[in-house]
């Protein structure tokens, strides 16, 4: 088997969906917060497995979500064993730009995940009863930590930043036979049901994944601590993992784009992840 390659894609909560970023703590630990489910879903009896679409109130989070989000369904994708009640390592993607790159990965390669996270003190209580900025919000952030001389990992961005936080070691990738942009450009639903029955895209109506990844459950999951992609002095500035190792230039809104790592670059990146 050839040396593994890697691809990193952006996932998880952000300031658009659901309105706040997940927290990263001063030691580099973090909380993974999925985005809301934005698509229509099938009736539960038509799901491949008998389980509900989870809500924010169902998630195992160390802070309180806004009251008006607690019954909001979440798009539990990617899913990792032992995280938020999930048992498998899978990911589905409906977007051609990312799905095409994912489809080029082979068994043994890595699909990595990064998110934009806000620096928060340990014990951050959450974005408030109704949402960020309301009277119940816990506004403590990087500025609050600096004012009190709290010891913060020197690699973390001063407020928000982009961070690698999880990975799936690929067992199998399912992709559309032809991605020509028409309505048929999705993974075969029966094949996806057999390979990844709990993936969130199989609950959508219609099924929309252009690529589905099935991972090695024993090697996939959340990292203990994040690996920064942002510079330590500015979240919007890319660090050398992006500019020197990945396919991305680090210019413009780089934190929204997929980043490919060839085998030599992936080897260096994976060594960094192992050292977290």
Residue 142 Cα to chain centre, angstroms: 22
| Mean pLDDT, residues 74-99 | 96
Q: What percent of the chain has pLDDT over 90?
A: 90
- Is the pLDDT at 6 greater than 50? The verdict is yes
pLDDT digits (tens, 9 = 90+) for 223-242: 999 999 999 999 999 999 99
| Mean pLDDT, residues 95-109 | 95
Confidence of residue 128 (pLDDT cuts 50, 70, 90): confident
- Is the pLDDT at 78 greater than 90? The verdict is yes
Q: What is the per-residue pLDDT for 177?
A: 57
pLDDT digits (tens, 9 = 90+) for 210-226: 999 999 999 999 999 99
Q: What is the per-residue pLDDT for 168?
A: 98
Confidence of residue 201 (pLDDT cuts 50, 70, 90): very high
Q: What is the per-residue pLDDT for 1?
A: 61
Question: Taking the domains of the chain in order of start, what are their residue ranges?
Answer: 6-271
Please name the residues in contact with 206: beta carbons below 8 A apart, sequence gap of 6 or more. Answer: none
Answer yes or no: are the C-beta atoms of 175 and 210 closer than 8 Å.
yes
Q: What percent of the chain has pLDDT over 70?
A: 95
12-40 burial code (b ≥16 CB/10 A, e <16): bbbeeebbbbbbbbbebbbbbbbbbbebe
> What is the DSSP track for the chain?
-PPP-EEEEE-S-BTTTBSSPEEE-TTS-B---PEE--S-B--GGGSSSS-PPPBGGGS--SSPPPGGGTTSBEE--SB-TTSTT--S-EEEE--HHHHHHHHT--TT-EEEEEEEEEE--TT---S-SSSTTSTT-----HHHHHHTT----TTS-SSEEEEEEEEEEEEEEEE-S--SSSTT-S--HHHHHHH-TT-GGGGBSS---SEEEEE-TTT-EEEEEEEE-EETTEEEEE-HIIIIISS----SSGGGS-EEE-HHHHHHHHHHHHT-
37-41, 76-80, 131-135: the lowest-pLDDT one: 131-135
pLDDT averaged over the chain? 94
82-96, 105-119, 168-182, 243-257: the lowest-pLDDT one: 168-182
- Is the pLDDT at 15 greater than 80? The verdict is yes
- Is the pLDDT at 133 greater than 70? The verdict is no
């Amino acid at each position: 088997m050839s040396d593994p390659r890697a691809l990193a894609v952006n996932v998880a909560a952000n300031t658009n969906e659901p309105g706040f970023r997940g927290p990263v703590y001063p030691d580099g630990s973090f909380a993974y917060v999925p985005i809301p489910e934005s698509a229509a879903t099938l009736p539960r009896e038509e799901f491949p497995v008998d389980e509900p679409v989870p809500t924010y109130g169902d998630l195992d989070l160390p802070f309180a979500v806004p009251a008006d989000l607690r019954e909001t369904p979440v798009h539990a994708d990617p899913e990792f064993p032992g995280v938020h009640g999930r048992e498998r390592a899978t990911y589905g993607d409906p977007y051609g730009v990312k799905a095409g790159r994912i489809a080029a990965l082979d068994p043994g390669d890595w699909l990595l995940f990064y998110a934009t996270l806000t620096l928060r003190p340990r014990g951050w209580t959450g974005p408030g009863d109704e949402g960020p900025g309301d009277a119940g919000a816990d506004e403590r952030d990087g500025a609050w930590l600096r004012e009190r001389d709290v010891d913060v990992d020197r690699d973390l961005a001063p407020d928000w930043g982009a961070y690698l936080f999880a990975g799936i070691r690929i067992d199998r990738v399912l992709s559309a036979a032809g991605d020509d942009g028409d309505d048929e450009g999705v993974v075969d639903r029966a094949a996806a049901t057999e390979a990844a029955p709990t993936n969130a895209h199989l609950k959508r109506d219609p099924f929309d994944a252009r690529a589905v990844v099935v991972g090695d459950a024993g090697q996939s999951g959340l990292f203990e601590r994040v690996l920064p992609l942002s510079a330590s002095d500015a979240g919007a500035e890319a660090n050398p993992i992006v500019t020197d190792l990945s396919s991305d230039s680090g210019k413009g809104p780089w934190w929204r784009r997929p980043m490919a790592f060839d085998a030599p670059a992936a080897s260096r990146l994976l060594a960094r992840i192992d050292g977290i």
